[in-house]
Amino acid sequence: MKKLVLSLAILGLILTLASCNKSKNDGTNPQQAGVSFSIKPGTTPGGLKSDCWATTASYAKVWLNVMNGNQSVPYNNGTPIKITIFYLAGVPYTNSIQLSPGTYTVEDFIIYNDNQTPNSETDDIVIAATPHTNQVFAPYVTHPLTWNFTVAAFEKLQQPIEAVCYQQSNYSDFGFVFFLIDQLNMKDAVFFGDLCAKDFANYTGSHYANQHAGLQPDMPAIFKIDVLKNGSAYKSFNNDSINWYGEGRPMRVYYADQPGVTENFEFRLSVLVKTGASFSFVYFSSWYSTDGGPLYTTSGTHVQSDPIADKDGNGVIDFSLGYCNPNADLVLPPYMNLPLTCSYTITGATAPGSQGGYVDASLVVGGAAGNYELQTQTYPSYCVETGNFINIGQTYTMNVYSSLYPAAMPSYAQAPAKPWYKINWLINHLDWFPGYHWYDLQGAIWTECGWTGNPSETGIPFPVSGSIAYTMIQDMDLYGTASYQVPTGGWACVVFIDAANLTPHTQTMFVKVDP
């Protein structure tokens, strides 16, 4: 938008606006009446400029209030009415406007020249305006603003109004308030999602149960999008409302971009999922845009060849939390309802443990125990590193992570140092390796995580060449790529990291759980 700086001129020729042509009815009331403003000469104080009317008037804008019961409220939501001005025998007239019967207040009246660009107001010139009561130029008009007029049904009202020429040096004398307006371009993005729920009965009591089809393995996702602008909170949108609950239509997200200013937007996706025994929004992923451009799944500078978030170009960015909609624009791994922390104790014999793993891990899950996909029980457990230690019989308070979302872990536990996608592939394909032993599995995992046989580990053969572990490693490298998706009903690693000992850190441990 242009920066509107209105220059007022000293009182000159005072005229009154008139009309004789009707503009289009706005359709808000069938009993509307035509209202026009007429032009007549006024008084002129000696020595003041009176030449502004030499410039052709193109249109006027009028701001109105209307009585609603006993309250005066802005008409048309405060948006001015634009009225075309035309000339007959050198005298300006306005078209009439259609108003519903009632009592109105004229708040402001300003006349413009369109600067020979009738399709754009960005360079229009203010010619004259009606002064307000108690301002310097108020004594020179018969009816300074504000004042009322009444519209009756099916009658035409011709209402006199006077406008005063002005010049820059006296702009404050009119009592107008003018604003420096920042230009904003409204943008939108449209989202829709799926929630793939293996144990969908766990969502009994959630808002998903209010959907028309009820609870099912693949449900329209109830989600929210938090929009950040240059790293700060901007707007938030969600579809968690009565008569919606995520189904029937996508969610449209609106945001405003300011031209000439670099603005980076982040669209943070949180989905309503079960957290413990209750339901809440959990963050999963983000989309990014710069200066109102296309949305991408990565932040930073993009080039035209980068894939945009709306991969199929249908105007909707759709996502799937879980793998029930593999053709979605964004396919996210399954969600696991896990505690934030738990107690972890290595018990009994080790290398191997009694349950067939490297060690036995006794877990104590508090809070909403029984609702999590991790239970208070003993699991076969495995190590990830060889150069760090964990004490047998000592109870650790461990932070709990899903290997399907390794970005939430400390940096040292993320890929490529810890290739969780390879480990997830392996624990889902152990049937490929008949006759394997616990030490084959542990040795293959350690080798993928950088083990070189030094130091040596009790019960783990090294080198692994010619062993089942060697075959595991070859297949992990071939099939366990970063795009590997854990199948429905398959296994994923639940990872335990001792937050109290990160440098040097306690051994990273994991168990396998059906997500």
Say what the pLDDT of residue 90 is.
66
Residue 84 lies in a domain: yes
Strands 232-238 and 97-99: unpaired
The confidence band for 131, taking pLDDT boundaries of 50, 70 and 90, is confident
Residues 24, 148, single domain; the answer is: yes
Residue whose token pair is 């990273």: 508
Asked if pLDDT for residue 105 goes beyond 90, the answer is yes
Residues 35, 129, single domain; the answer is: yes
Residue 261 lies in a domain: yes
Q: How many Å apart are CA 472 and CA 405, to the nearest integer? A: 23
Residues 417, 503, single domain; the answer is: yes
Asked if pLDDT for residue 19 goes beyond 70, the answer is no
Percent of the chain predicted with pLDDT > 90: 56
Residues 391, 428, single domain; the answer is: yes
Say what the pLDDT of residue 413 is.
93
Q: Which of 119, 154, 174 is the last residue of a domain?
A: 174
Residues 323, 453, single domain; the answer is: no
Question: For the residues 504-508, what does the mean pLDDT come to?
Answer: 89
Number of independent structural domains in the chain: 3
Residues 160, 249, single domain; the answer is: no
CB 251 within 8 A of CB 271: no
Instruction: Supply 372's token pair.
Output: 């999590």
Select the more confidently predicted residue: 88 or 353.
353
Lowest-confidence region among 6-15, 127-136, 379-388, 415-424: 6-15
Residues 485, 505, single domain; the answer is: yes
Lowest-confidence region among 138-142, 439-443, 482-486, 494-498: 138-142
Say what the pLDDT of residue 318 is.
96
Residues 492, 345, single domain; the answer is: yes
Q: Is 244 helix (H, G, I), strand (E, B) or coil?
A: coil
State the distance between the two ends of the chain, measured CA to CA, in whole angstroms: 53
Say what the pLDDT of residue 388 is.
86
Say what the pLDDT of residue 51 is.
57
Q: Angle 171-172-177 (CA atoms, 0-180°, nearest 5)?
A: 100
Q: How many Å apart are CA 225 and CA 237, to the nearest integer? A: 5
Residue 5 lies in a domain: no
Q: Which of 174, 204, 224 is the last residue of a domain?
A: 174
Say what the pLDDT of residue 170 is.
44
Question: For the residues 446-456, what does the mean pLDDT come to?
Answer: 87
**CA dihedral (402, 405, 408, 410) positive or negative:** positive
Residue 482 lies in a domain: yes
Say what the pLDDT of residue 444 is.
95
Residues 261, 403, single domain; the answer is: no
Residue 1 lies in a domain: no
Lowest-confidence region among 24-33, 126-135, 333-342: 24-33
Say what the pLDDT of residue 128 is.
81
Cβ neighbors of 258 (< 8 A, separation 6 or more) are: 182, 183, 184, 185
From residue 354, give the alpha-carbon distance in Å to each of 308, 343, 361, 385, 494: 50, 19, 10, 21, 20
Select the more confidently predicted residue: 455 or 16.
455
Say what the pLDDT of residue 8 is.
33
Asked if pLDDT for residue 242 goes beyond 50, the answer is yes
Question: For the residues 450-456, what does the mean pLDDT come to?
Answer: 83
Residue whose token pair is 């004789």: 20
| pLDDT tens per residue across span 271-290 | 999 999 999 999 999 999 99
Residues 303, 433, single domain; the answer is: no
Structural domain span for residue 201: 185-332
Residue 369 lies in a domain: yes
Is pTM beyond 0.75 here?
no
Which of 44-48, 137-141, 149-153 ranks highest by mean pLDDT?
A: 149-153
| pLDDT tens per residue across span 49-71 | 345 667 788 898 999 999 998 99
Residue 10 lies in a domain: no
Asked if pLDDT for residue 11 goes beyond 50, the answer is no
Q: Which of 301, 332, 363 is the last residue of a domain?
A: 332
CB 164 within 8 A of CB 141: yes
Residues 240, 312, single domain; the answer is: yes
| pLDDT tens per residue across span 400-439 | 999 999 999 999 999 888 999 999 999 999 999 999 999 9
Select the more confidently predicted residue: 38 or 306.
306
Asked if pLDDT for residue 362 goes beyond 70, the answer is yes
Q: How many Å apart are CA 387 and CA 399, to the nearest integer? A: 20
Residue 230 lies in a domain: yes
Question: For the residues 68-85, what does the mean pLDDT come to?
Answer: 91
| pLDDT tens per residue across span 373-386 | 999 999 999 999 88
Question: For the residues 463-467, what does the mean pLDDT come to?
Answer: 79
Residue whose token pair is 């083990």: 451
| pLDDT tens per residue across span 23-53 | 333 334 445 566 766 544 344 443 333 456 6
Lowest-confidence region among 48-62, 217-231, 386-400, 495-509: 48-62
**CA dihedral (101, 107, 111, 115) positive or negative:** negative
Residues 192, 154, single domain; the answer is: no
Asked if pLDDT for residue 489 goes beyond 90, the answer is no
Asked if pLDDT for residue 475 goes beyond 60, the answer is yes
Say what the pLDDT of residue 32 is.
57
